[in-house]
């Protein structure tokens, strides 16, 4: 017999209550059978309310008002301005450029991430020599600080860096990080490299759920390795693919450290800026939190819409 | 919410043994091995290069320069230490990370236990909120959190302001909940009939059984604040309070394009910043299975 099936009046501790009947039952209906849970969960609930729920509301509120920074405790008038901040954000070429850059980023990053992580996870799945070594090496970039790995990419892709030495006459001119066509693709490549370990892990977990007998019957029917990969593995991990795509989109929407450090503030000339970088520049550096909030709300809506469409497409049967 | 189902699903599967039976471990076909090795080289080479270059007096970017045979020196480490005060920055990173881990373990265990094992009003809503939080990118809250922390509460340049937004890692709470859910219900009903308080059940009965979950949660919580750049960067202007990620980034930013040869010092700093997470991960890698799945969700 488990707690779940027990009627509320046999609750442990109820026996010691002087009048366990109706009053106890009433309290239970209001607070639940173990109201102590409210106390246990309270710090976390408060944390969620203060750090997530309230700031989301505040962001939306700021985006509809003429808002500027003041010293703590100063009360000023912040008039409602309707969609003015949104109009200003959308008509700013730098903002439009940054959203376009994210689109470029996603077009490169998402397919590359899905294909590479699934192929490597499939190769890593099952009986493999040195499996732990590979698992660790694929995961190391993911757990390392962006600032640290950006430093070595800066070095590798600098003008006279290792990569250009390796390419010799094929090295791009101007070099990667200061080239306006290559800067954003390079950031997409960097993020793919850095995040791939997490996605390999996700796919590895999903692959455990694909039945071995499917592969056996496919090979008896004469299917090749590639055939069974396309017809069994790929559909078999479809729900993981949805998650991988959504997570990649969220990562793309959040780009900040890479354009800030790798391409020296979204350079050259905004060619690799991201919406979060523009939010930082407009909001914190130039003191326009209202416009920055409008950009943030637009970005949040964008992510939700794309994630929803993606879910619909990938989970369609 | 399908995503939640999947996460739960993956978490459950990951707790099942995944290792290959030993007698099969010899049948790896060579194209597969070549692919895996190629992948490993691409993932590890930048780390090797970072370490090697941090030990060179003069950065040698030629192809042969990637495989030096001598001339190693610790000068770059001395150099970066003179510019960003490594000890102080590491201490700040440690305080930031340690406080987040402490809050996550204490409050996260309580919340995870309540969500898994106690029936109370609002449990469903809290769980839904917890999952929702995982898909809300922290960066989008940058402006309102900055307004609250810096402007309303005057917590700029303080550890409290740095720690508060990260205090309880949602993924860790999720991991705790999953582990508490796996324990048999009889254990709890028996203890309750014996008159044990919930706090005592949690501490003496449930906690010893979920020790692996605590280790996993500590590891995945560690990489959040240790690697975090944007938030401490926004709220600390005082170099004495900056974690290493921020002081190193400021150094990269300020010398980029100006210093004749700044890479040695930058890469030495990068090694110091990356090493703790990499070492922890290598030592405890078997606890780092798919259970930490959601850690990427927060981005």
- pLDDT score for B234: 93
Mean pLDDT of A198-226: 83
Write out chain B in H/E/C secondary structure: CHHHHHHHHHHHHHCCCCCCCHHHCCCCCHHHHHHHHHHHHHHHHHHHHHHHHHCECCCCCCCHHHCCCCCECCHHHHHHHHHHCHHHHHHHHHHHHHHHHHHHHHHHHHHHHHHHHCCCCCHHHHHHHHHHHHCCCHHHHHHHHHHHHHHHCCCCCCHHHHHHHHCCCHHHHHHHHHHHHHCCHHHHHHHHHCCCCHHHHHHHHHHHHCHHHHHHHHHHHHHHHHHCCHHHHHHCCCHHHCCHHHHHHHHHHHHCCCCCCCHHHHHHHHHHHHHHHHHHHHHCHHHCCHHHHHHHCCC
Option in A127, A165, A261 nearest B25 (CB): A127
The verdict on a CB contact (< 8 Å) between B46 and A149 is yes
Token match 């954003």: residue? A184
Distances (CA, A) of A284 to A42, A68, B14, B181: 33, 10, 42, 44
Question: Which residues of B fall within a CB distance of 8 Å from A140?
Answer: 43-44, 47, 278, 281
pLDDT level of residue B167 (50, 70, 90 thresholds)? very high
Instruction: Count other Cβ atoms within 10 Å, centred on residue B83.
Output: 17
Compute, in degrees rounded to 10, the torsion defined by CA atoms B297, B299, B148, B114: 30
Question: Which residues of A fall within a CB distance of 8 Å from B27?
Answer: 127
For residue B165, give the chain A residue with the closest CA: A51
**What confidence tens digit (pLDDT) does each residue in B236-293 have?**
999 899 999 999 999 988 875 555 557 888 999 999 999 999 999 888 877 666 544 4
Option in A72, A131, A196 nearest B152 (CB): A72
**What confidence tens digit (pLDDT) does each residue in A25-77 have?**
567 777 778 888 899 999 999 999 999 999 999 999 999 999 888 776 777 88
The verdict on a CB contact (< 8 Å) between A261 and B35 is no
Question: Which residues of A fall within a CB distance of 8 Å from B26?
Answer: 129
pLDDT level of residue B22 (50, 70, 90 thresholds)? very low
Which value, in Å, is the radius of gyration of the alpha carbons in chain A? 26
Q: Is A80 helix (H, G, I), strand (E, B) or coil?
A: strand
- B127, A46 Cβ separation under 8 angstroms: no
- pLDDT score for A71: 73
Token match 């100063």: residue? A74
The verdict on a CB contact (< 8 Å) between A43 and B19 is no
- Residue B30 pLDDT greater than 50, yes or no: yes
Task: Write down all domains in chain A, each with its CATH number in brackets.
Answer: 86-314 (1.10.3720.10)
pLDDT-above-90 percentage for chain A: 44
DSSP output for A178-226: G-TTTHHHHHHHHHHHHHHHHHHHHHHHHHTTS-HHHHHHHHHTT--HH
CA atoms within 13 A on the CB side of A116: 23
Q: How far apart are the first and last CA of chain B?
A: 20
- Residue B148 pLDDT greater than 60, yes or no: yes
ipTM over 0.90: no
The verdict on a CB contact (< 8 Å) between A120 and B133 is no
- Residue B182 pLDDT greater than 80, yes or no: yes
Q: How far apart are the first and last CA of chain A?
A: 40
**What confidence tens digit (pLDDT) does each residue in B202-245 have?**
999 898 888 888 888 898 899 999 999 999 999 999 989 999 99
Q: What is the mean pLDDT of chain B?
A: 83
Q: How far is B235 from chain A (nearest CA, A)?
A: 10
- Distance (Å, whole) CA A301 – CA B137: 12
**What confidence tens digit (pLDDT) does each residue in A65-122 have?**
998 887 767 778 888 888 999 999 999 999 999 999 999 999 999 999 999 999 999 9
Tokens of A125: 């799945």
| Interface membership of B29 toward A (CB under 8 Å) | no
Question: Which residues of A fall within a CB distance of 8 Å from B142?
Answer: 276, 279-280, 283, 292, 296
- pLDDT score for B221: 92
Question: Which residues of A fall within a CB distance of 8 Å from B277?
Answer: 143-145
Task: Write down all domains in chain B, each with its CATH number in brackets.
Answer: 72-296 (1.10.3720.10)
């Amino acid at each position: 017999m488990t707690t779940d099936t027990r009627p509320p009046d046999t609750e442990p501790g109820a026996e010691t209550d002087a009048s366990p009947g109706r009053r106890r039952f009433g309290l239970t209906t209001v607070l639940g059978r173990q109201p102590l849970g409210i106390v246990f969960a309270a710090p976390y609930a408060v944390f969620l309310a203060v750090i997530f729920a309230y700031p989301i509301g505040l962001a939306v509120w700021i985006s509809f008002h003429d808002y500027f920074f003041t010293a703590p405790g100063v009360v000023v008038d912040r008039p409602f301005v309707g969609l003015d901040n949104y109009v200003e954000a959308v008509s700013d070429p730098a903002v439009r450029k940054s959203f376009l850059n994210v689109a470029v980023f996603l077009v490169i990053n998402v397919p590359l991430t899905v294909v590479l992580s699934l192929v490597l996870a499939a190769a890593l799945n099952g009986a493999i020599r040195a499996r732990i070594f590979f698992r660790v090496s694929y995961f190391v970039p993911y757990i390392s600080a962006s600032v640290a790995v950006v430093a070595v990419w800066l070095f590798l892709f600098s003008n006279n860096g290792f990569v250009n030495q390796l390419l010799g006459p094929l090295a791009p001119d101007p070099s990667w990080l200061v080239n306006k066509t290559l800067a954003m693709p390079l950031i997409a490549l960097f993020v793919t490299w850095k995040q791939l370990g997490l996605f390999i892990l996700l796919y590895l977990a999903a692959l455990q759920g694909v039945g071995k007998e499917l592969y056996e019957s496919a090979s008896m029917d004469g299917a090749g390795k590639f055939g069974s990969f396309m017809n069994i593995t790929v559909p078999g991990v479809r729900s993981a693919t949805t998650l991988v795509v959504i997570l990649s989109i969220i990562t793309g929407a959040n780009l900040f450290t890479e354009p800030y450090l790798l391409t020296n503030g979204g350079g050259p000339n905004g060619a690799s800026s991201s919406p979060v970088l523009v939010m930082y520049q407009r909001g914190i550096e130039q003191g326009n939190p209202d416009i920055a909030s409008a950009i943030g709300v637009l970005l949040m809506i964008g992510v939700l819409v794309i994630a929803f469409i993606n879910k619909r497409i990938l989970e369609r049967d | 919410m399908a995503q939640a189902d999947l996460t739960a699903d993956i978490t459950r599967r990951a707790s099942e043994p995944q290792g290959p039976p030993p007698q099969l471990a010899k049948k790896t076909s060579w194209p597969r091995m070549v692919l895996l090795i190629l992948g490993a080289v691409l993932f590890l080479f930048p780390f090797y290069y970072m370490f090697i270059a941090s030990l060179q007096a003069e950065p040698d970017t030629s192809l042969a320069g990637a495989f030096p045979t001598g001339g190693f020196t610790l000068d770059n480490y001395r150099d970066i230490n003179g510019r960003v005060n490594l000890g102080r920055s590491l201490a700040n990173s440690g305080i930031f990370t340690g406080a987040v881990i402490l809050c996550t373990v204490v409050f996260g265990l309580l919340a995870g236990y309540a969500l898994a094992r106690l029936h109370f009003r609002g449990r469903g809503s809290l769980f839904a909120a917890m999952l929702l939080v995982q898909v809300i990118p922290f960066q989008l809250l940058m402006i309102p959190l900055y307004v609250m922390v810096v402007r309303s509460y005057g917590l700029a340049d303080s550890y409290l302001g740095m720690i508060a937004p990260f205090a309880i890692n949602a993924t860790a709470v999720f991991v705790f909940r999953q582990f508490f859910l796996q324990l048999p219900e009889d254990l709890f009903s028996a203890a309750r009939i014996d008159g044990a308080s919930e706090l005592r059940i949690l501490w003496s009965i449930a906690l010893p059984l979920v020790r692996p979950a605590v280790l996993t949660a500590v590891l995945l919580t560690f990489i959040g604040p240790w690697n975090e750049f944007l938030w401490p960067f926004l709220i600390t202007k005082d170099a004495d309070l900056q974690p290493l990620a921020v002081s190193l980034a400021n150094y990269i930013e300020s010398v980029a394009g100006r210093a004749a040869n700044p890479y040695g010092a930058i890469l030495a700093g990068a090694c110091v910043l990356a090493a703790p997470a990499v070492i922890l991960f290598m030592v405890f890698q078997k606890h780092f299975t798919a259970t930490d799945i959601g850690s990427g969700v927060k981005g």
